[in-house]
Amino acid sequence: MLRITLALVILGIMVSNSVIAAGDPAAGQAKAAVCAACHGMDGNSQIAQWPKIAGQHEDYVARQTRMVRDQQRNVPQMYPMVMNLSDQDITDVAAWYASQTIKPGVADDALVKSGRSLYHGGDVDRGIPACMACHGPTGSGIPGTGWPMIRAQHATYTADRLRRYRGGEVNGPSDANSAIMAAIAAGLTDAEIEAVASYVEGLHAAE
């Protein structure tokens, strides 16, 4: 049933996002100054609590930013930075960061085996789908569906997001993806969260 739900959500988001115009990366570079303190000017955050957004899907960055601006996603530190941005500003900034290249991360060798198992195979007995079903075998996500690129992401940030999802945090009633993530994360242990987060940080596009 969860697989059917995932497929329907992906199809629905692809249709809804098909009318969103692409942004202007050049214009977005200047507008991204407000984002650089946390995410870095090139989107490669140096602070593990803040996500890398370099190379992230343009539609995903734009949608998440709009949700924060419209107070559908609760990120108190980010809201003052984006509250006055127009839709065009957000689309341009998203285009700028999407045009950047994410810097690779490194996984903890001690956690790779268990993290890889969960990421690629899930746990059928407990009804936990493989992470790659939505985020792809190399963590590149699926553009246009709302499922983001997660490879090379800081393990600290990924683990925090998974714990928040496990605690029931979702991004408003219109964000089906976060509701799916909450349902999946509800079955994860602390050790599994740490392992898969570390494995994701070490994922590379060429794997």
pLDDT in tens, 26-61: 999 999 999 999 999 999 999 999 999 999 999 999
Query: Is residue 166 scored above 60 in pLDDT?
Result: yes
d(CA 200, CA 106): 9
Residues 70 and 119 in one domain: no
What's the pLDDT tens digit per position in 182-194? 999 999 999 999 9
Residue 132 falls within a domain, yes or no?
A: yes
Residue 83 sits in the same domain as residue 116: no
Q: So what's the pLDDT on residue 21?
A: 61
DSSP 31-57: HGGGTHHHH-TTS--SSTTS---TT--
Cα–Cα distance measured from residue 202 to residue 10, given in angstroms and rounded to the nearest whole number: 26
Paired residues of 19 in beta bridges: none
User: Do the Cβ atoms of 147 and 163 come closer than 8 Å?
Assistant: no
- pLDDT value of position 204: 85
Pair 129, 197 in one domain: yes
| pLDDT surpasses 60 at 10 | no
Tell me if 129 sits within 8 A of 6, measured CB to CB: yes
Domain, as residue range, for 146: 109-201
Residues 72 and 133 in one domain: no
Residue with tokens 């957004």: 53
> Is this model's pTM higher than 0.85 or not?
yes
Residues 186 and 165 in one domain: yes
User: Residue 83 domain-assigned?
Assistant: yes
**147 bridge partner residues:** 142
Number of domains in the chain: 2
**Does residue 15 belong to any structural domain of this protein?**
no
CATH, residue 182: 1.10.760.10
Confidence of residue 3 (pLDDT cuts 50, 70, 90): low
**Residue 155 DSSP label:** H
Q: Cβ contacts of residue 167 below 8 Å, gap of 6+?
A: none
